Structures are given as C-alpha cells and as structure tokens.
Amino acid sequence: MTGTRTAAKVALVTGGTKRLGFELAKALARAGYALALSYRSDADAAGRAVDFLRKEEGARAQAFHADFSADNAPDSLFEEVFSSSLFSSSSSSSSPRSAAPPRLDALVHAASPWIPKPFASVTVSDWEAVFRAGPRAAFFLAQAAAPALRAAQGSILLVSDVAATQAWPSHIPHVAAKAALNALVSNLAVALGPDVRVNAIAPGVVLPPVEMSAAAVAALVARTPLARKVGVEDLTAMAIAVLENRSMTGQIVTVDAGRSVRGEA
C-alpha cells in the first residue's frame, strides 16, 4: 500500500516495534489509528516498523525511545509524544496547544522483558527489570495518559499472560509481574471510570521468545485442548474488539487455545 490516510484515532503502543507489540500496532493501523510506538534499545527495528506501517498499512506512525527502567520514563515519553508532529496534525491550529490535551484514543502496554531463570538464580536486577517495565510502567503510563484519554473517552489495554494465574517456577518474576498487571486492571478501571475503559488481554502461546526451545514450546502446546499455538490474527482481532467495546472495563480476556482450562503453565 502506498501513501498515507488521515487517521481520526491515535494510539500509543509500548514495545510496539517488535513481536506481539508490532502485531498489535499493525492491527491498530488497519483499524484506522495513527500510531506512536515506543522502543527500548533497537532503533533499527523501530525504523523498520515505522516504515512498514507507513508504506504497507498507510498509517501515520512514529517511534519514540523509552527505557522504563528509568523513574521518569512514562512522563518523558508522553511529553515527547504529545509534542511530536504525529499529534500536531490532530490538534486544532486555531487554538493554543494548552487549550486541550492532544488526541489519544488508546494506550496499549505491551512492553515486557523476558528473563527466564530457575528460582535460585533470580536476582534483584531481574526482578526490578520485569516489574519496572511491567506493572510500574503501566500505572504511570496510565497516569500520564489520563487527561488525553478522558478527553477522547478512550481505552487502555494491558498485555497480560495466561500464566499470571498459574504456577510457572522457571518464570516467577514474569508471572508475578503479570499478576500485578491484572490487579491494576480492576483498580484503574474504577479510578479512571466513567471516561476511560481499562482491560487486559491474556495470551497463551502465541509468539514464543526466541530463547524458548522448540521442545519447550511443543510441551506447552501439547497441553492445550486445541493442540496449537494461538493465532496472531485471533489475538489481535480480540485486542481491537476489547479496546473498542464501549461496555467493557475491568476485564481480563483470555485467548490461549484453552491452555488455562488445563490449569497448567
């Protein structure tokens, strides 16, 4: 696809330049959103993601660096995003920028480090990395985005994990962080209602980390009733539906090929 279309809606996707975050960004582009994508370290991948969204999806898109290990990362990210050209075209040129918050319809928090380690090997640094990028960033991103989201009657979607409610002892920081993320869903839904809806999507095996062996992936898939990985298109379609459903808030929607039915991580 060539050229760009004018998008009435705007979304910020953290971790939106790689893997599941990028798949969610592509789905949002197809749904008519302009996109701000955050990335932590790989500027080349961010550039490729933006080029793809512009050229193949016809979307307005821009990438922004954000390292959520830093205390002020959420505020700094939104300060940069809201002052960018991506948002200036959505704001009224006849009134000062301070007259109204920039347009933001959706905040999707997909950023999440993957640090698989056995219980005895987990360090404080591992724990901090996962929690800072996960539930801590989610809370302060929501706080920074709240005025703009309220103005647009917008929506927040957190990316959880079906493992958040199960035992997975080789991934304890990850599981604990996702459980904390789930707790944020109900609390933020009440804190930000009635103007902003807050939900989460909990995938099963969809895009396994490259560090996960084929045998480990096969073992997880074998325990799902559908005996297959989650289709990316199935997950992203549900994500868009949850984001845009105006009667849903405080919900965690599982898309896991039935993995949670077995009660095994």
Residue 96: predicted pLDDT: 41
Q: Is 121 within the bounds of a domain?
A: yes
Nearest to 112 by CA among 231, 11, 239, 21: 21
Q: Show Cβ contacts of residue 113 under 8 Å, excluding neighbours closer than 6 positions.
A: 129, 130, 133
Q: Is 32 within the bounds of a domain?
A: yes
- Give the integer Cα–Cα distance in Å for 3 and 203: 33
Q: Is 19 within the bounds of a domain?
A: yes
Pairing of strands 106-109, 61-65: unpaired
Q: Is 125 within the bounds of a domain?
A: yes
Sites in the chain below the pLDDT cut of 70: 1-7, 87-101, 262-265
- Give the integer Cα–Cα distance in Å for 85 and 62: 9
Q: Is 139 within the bounds of a domain?
A: yes
Q: Is 96 within the bounds of a domain?
A: yes
Q: Is 4 within the bounds of a domain?
A: no
Give the CATH number for residue 130: 3.40.50.720
- Give the integer Cα–Cα distance in Å for 150 and 238: 23
Q: Domain of residue 110: give its range.
A: 9-262
Distance set, CA 144 to CA 124, 139, 141, 167, 256 (Å)? 27, 9, 5, 33, 31
Q: Is 131 within the bounds of a domain?
A: yes
Q: Show Cβ contacts of residue 165 under 8 Å, excluding neighbours closer than 6 positions.
A: 179, 182, 260
CA dihedral of 238, 243, 244, 249, whole degrees rounded to 10: 110
- Count of domains in the chain? 1
Residue 99: predicted pLDDT: 53
What confidence tens digit (pLDDT) does each residue in 156-194 have? Answer: 999 999 888 888 888 899 999 999 999 999 999 999 999
- pTM, entire model: 0.89
